[in-house]
Amino acid sequence: MQTRVLTGITTTGTPHLGNYVGAIRPAIAASRRPEVDAFFFMADYHALIKSDDPARIERSRLEIAATWLAAGLDPNKVTFYRQSDVPEIPELTWFLTCVTAKGLLNRAHAYKAAVDKNTEAGEDPDAAITAGLYMYPVLMAADILAFNAQQVPVGRDQIQHIEMARDIAQRFNHIYGHDFFVLPEVVIEEQVATLPGLDGRKMSKSYDNTIPLFAGGTNQLRDTVMRIVTDSRAPGEPKDPDSSALFTIFRAFASETESAAYRRALEEGIGWGEAKQVLYERLEADIAPMRERYEALIARPADIEAILREGAGKARAIAGPKIAELRDAIGLRSMSAIATVAATKPRQAVKASRPPRFASFRDTDGSFRFRLFSSEGDELLLSKSFKDPKEAGAVQKRLKMLGASAATLISLPRSLVLELDDEPVATTPDYADDIERDEALNYLRAALDLLVEQEKSA
């Protein structure tokens, strides 16, 4: 069973050490585990909430994409895309908006902080606050729920957003009476849950206290490290590692043995200048090889564009069927389906009367195949050809255990493909258009769930 891991970065600035250790590094490490199905993306719709500078957004999208790749993301293994290339995300945002309590959004940290700032300044509480900022958590919930992500690796500052995504998912599931969404779990690397910036506060674009990962090269890395604020203890005086941003940053990159040696050096009174030089050298050892790859990548934006477009195709193949399922659930259905359903029996009645069934047959070329028929006798799937009837039987058996939520159904313009282990195993007939195809998707999903129920009760 694979675990779906998903995370994103807002494209408003140059990636910094906090983004790297809080999100990029753990996410890429997770993506290398065979049991992980990873989704990483550029949150460029979120960026519009924070910046109205088109050049900055454009540059940041490129820099962040190049950073993911330079840090080791393999686009063949991971679904890597831009939020704005997946129209299903804003569509889902609206569905979720309509079930989200306004009071929940009133409690979001970023919105509350903006209100508090206005109130302190004697302004109207909502002065200069956009509806975009207010809706931020709902868009983020849609990012996660559109893909039924199970785990979301982030820094500590994002915990509230993941909790809100869970609340919103639960509410939607409750209202529409089915577990449409998996409840995502936050994954925090405790050691680096919040990396401090130059001034000791959380490293953040908004505080202007960041240490850039690649921008400005090794010289800027060194210059910025030298600007980390320290206390006034002179060389020879013992320093307190636990209250020093230098130590926290060092520890986020170093092994336990290295960190213990650095702690000892601080306690024994190493001068701040020398301690900063040691930190810079430790960072540079990890960053230099990645920087070289980053510079090569950023010089080829067209290649990055191609990678992201391909990623968007993969992402839409998952989000598209999900949205089709949700549209059906909330009543945004094709009108021609009303006629079909009315002309036949009500769905529940059909469900109870006859289950979907498989029919195996031998094709003209001697191979073995099967069809899946709906309760009403309509053909839902035709399998590929198998040399051995046992193989065909094994696939049918797996379909009886799979269920709709675990099925991988790829939408083509007028048909659907069912995959097992990334291999196409069956296709639907061709439909007149995408609306009919989406209707068929819902029937197919219902049939897959019925097969499981049937198997359990057999």
- Tokens standing for 352? 């109870």
* Residue 19 marked in a binding site: yes
Exactly one of 10, 209, 259, 383 binds ligand TYM (CB under 6 A); that residue is 10
| C-alpha closest to that of 236 among 267, 207, 260, 259 | 267
**Stretches 197-205, 264-272, 285-293, 429-437: which one binds ligand TYM (CB under 6 A)?**
197-205
* Residue 194 marked in a binding site: no
* Residue 179 marked in a binding site: no
The yes or no reply on residue 318 touching ligand TYM (CB under 6 A) is no
- Render 27-83 in DSSP notation, one character per residue: HHHHHTSTTEEEEEEEEHHHHHHH---HHHHHHHHHHHHHHHHHTT--TTTSEEEEG
Q: How far apart are CA 166 and CA 182, in angstroms?
A: 8
State the nearest-atom distance from the C-beta of 153 to ligand TYM, in Å: 7
Looking at residue 12, its amino acid is T
Residue with CB nearest ligand TYM? 22
The yes or no reply on residue 60 touching ligand TYM (CB under 6 A) is no
The yes or no reply on residue 114 touching ligand TYM (CB under 6 A) is no
> Mapping DSSP to helix (H, G, I), strand (E, B) and coil, where does residue 407 land?
coil
Exactly one of 49, 71, 195, 315 binds ligand TYM (CB under 6 A); that residue is 195
Q: What angle do CA 308, 313, 314 make, to 5 degrees?
A: 95
Cβ closest to ligand TYM, residue 202 vs residue 445: 202
Q: How far apart are CA 256 and CA 413, in angstroms?
A: 53
**Stretches 7-15, 91-99, 347-355, 389-397: which one binds ligand TYM (CB under 6 A)?**
7-15
**Stretches 107-115, 192-200, 268-276, 414-422: which one binds ligand TYM (CB under 6 A)?**
192-200
- Render 286-317 in DSSP notation, one character per residue: HHHHHHHHHHHHHT-HHHHHHHHHHHHHHHHH
Q: How far apart are CA 284 and CA 398, in angstroms?
A: 50
* Residue 204 marked in a binding site: yes
The yes or no reply on residue 284 touching ligand TYM (CB under 6 A) is no
Per CB under 6 A, which of residues 13..52 are in contact with ligand TYM?
18-19, 22-23, 43, 46
The yes or no reply on residue 419 touching ligand TYM (CB under 6 A) is no
Q: With contact defined as beta carbons under 8 Å apart, do 148 and 182 qualify?
A: yes
Per CB under 6 A, which of residues 143..182 are in contact with ligand TYM?
143-144, 152, 154-155, 157-158, 161
Per CB under 6 A, which of residues 202..261 are in contact with ligand TYM?
202-204
Q: How far apart are CA 446 and CA 458, in angstroms?
A: 18
Q: With contact defined as beta carbons under 8 Å apart, do 80 and 68 qualify?
A: yes
Cβ closest to ligand TYM, residue 159 vs residue 407: 159
| Dihedral sign (CA 267, 273, 276, 282) | negative
Cβ closest to ligand TYM, residue 5 vs residue 446: 5
State the nearest-atom distance from the C-beta of 197 to ligand TYM, in Å: 7
> Mapping DSSP to helix (H, G, I), strand (E, B) and coil, where does residue 366 land?
coil
Residues making up the annotated binding site are 10-12, 18-19, 143, 155-157, 195, 202-206
Question: Which residues are at the interface with ligand TYM (CB under 6 A)?
Answer: 6-10, 18-19, 22-23, 43, 46, 140, 143-144, 152, 154-155, 157-158, 161, 192, 194-195, 202-204
